[in-house]
Structure 1
Amino acid sequence: MLDKIYCVDDDAITLMLCKKVIERASFAKEILTATNGEEAILFFKELAQQSDMTYPRLVLLDLNMPIMNGWEFLDHYLEERYHETFPEAKFIVLSSTIDPQDVEKTKNYPMVVDFLSKPITKEMIEGLKQKE
């Protein structure tokens, strides 16, 4: 079981579903959420300034969001070198996009380990648990 999972998505129903599925699968002790990439960047910025940072080891990230989308978030995350500050944080893009170029583009981000299609399911979580 992970200590923390961070879900970043602008859709309230998707966030609620993520929380419910993760809770029911007993995959994390705490599920944190953000509604866009800008909130998520601020979250990691604040974490990086803490001396006793306990950070999420898994981030579920949507691509299509207002204010700052998933791609912009990933670019900023790399620019700020948070992948070095939080080396064990792994990202899974959780998106409704069906564009194969999006799947290919995720390979440019070393912290992204998978690309899954929405909606998240118990079976997906069980698969992730097997990889932990």
Structure 2
Amino acid sequence: MLDQILCIDDDPITLMLCKKVIVKASFSNEIITSQNGEEALNYFNTLKSTNIESKLKKHPQLIFLDLNMPVMGGWEFLDHFNSEAFSEFKNTKVIVLSSTIDPEDLEKSKTYPMVIDFLSKPITLTMLEYLKNKI
């Protein structure tokens, strides 16, 4: 079981479903959410400014990331998160969770070292079982 997961999606119903499935699967102790990439980056910036002791204990080990969101989408988030500014979170893994299964998006996701998979919405118990074995 993971300590903390971050779900980034602009759809409140998707976020609610994500939380319910993760809880049901006992996949994570804590689930936090952001409605877009900018909100998520702000969360990581807040973690960077807290003391080292608590930072090592509490940060998302896994991110479920939607691609198409207002303000800042998934690709922009990945570009920022992949930069030196967020290098202390380089062990955080990302699962792209999208409603589109565009082969170009799949190929693009492979260029980001933190992206470990590209899955189709919605999140399911079967998907989480698969990820438990992969992580």
Distance 2:84 2:45 in 1: 9
Residue 108 of structure 1 and its aligned partner are, at CA, apart by 1.3
Structure 2 residues without counterparts, runs of 5 or longer: none
State how far apart, in whole Å, the 2-side matches of 1:113 and 1:130 are.
Answer: 12
Q: Secondary structure at the match of 1:119?
A: coil
| Corresponding residue for residue 109 of structure 2 | 106
TM-score by length of 1: 0.95
Residues 59-92 of structure 1, C-alpha deviation per residue, up to 9 Å, x if partnerless?
A: 000000000000011111123431x201320000
Which amino acid in 1 is paired with 2:63? V
Equivalent residue number for residue 72 of structure 2: 68
Match of 2:61 among 54, 57, 67: 57
- Residue type of the alignment partner of 1:76: H
Which of 76, 90, 94 is equivalent to 2:93? 90
Task: Tell me how far apart the structure 1 counterparts of residues 117 and 101 of structure 2 sit (CA, whole Å).
Answer: 14
Identity of aligned residues (%): 61
1:117 to 98, 120, 124: 120
Q: Secondary structure at the match of 1:120?
A: coil
CA shift, 1:122, in A, is 0.6
Name the structure 1 match of 2:5. 5
Give the equivalent residue in structure 2 for 1:23.
Answer: 23
CA deviation profile, 1:29-84 (whole Å, cap 9, x unmatched): 000000001100101111112222111100000000000000011111123431x2
Give unpaired runs (5+ residues) of structure 1: none
Across the two proteins, how many residue pairs are aligned to each other?
131
Equivalent residue, structure 2, for 1:47: 47
Partner of 1:114, secondary structure, is: strand
Instruction: Provide the residue aligned with 1:131 in structure 2.
Output: 134
Q: RMSD over aligned Cα, in angstroms? A: 1.0
The superposition leaves residues 71-120 of structure 1 with CA deviations (integer Å, 9 ceiling, x where unpaired) of 011111123431x2013200000001121000000111111110000011
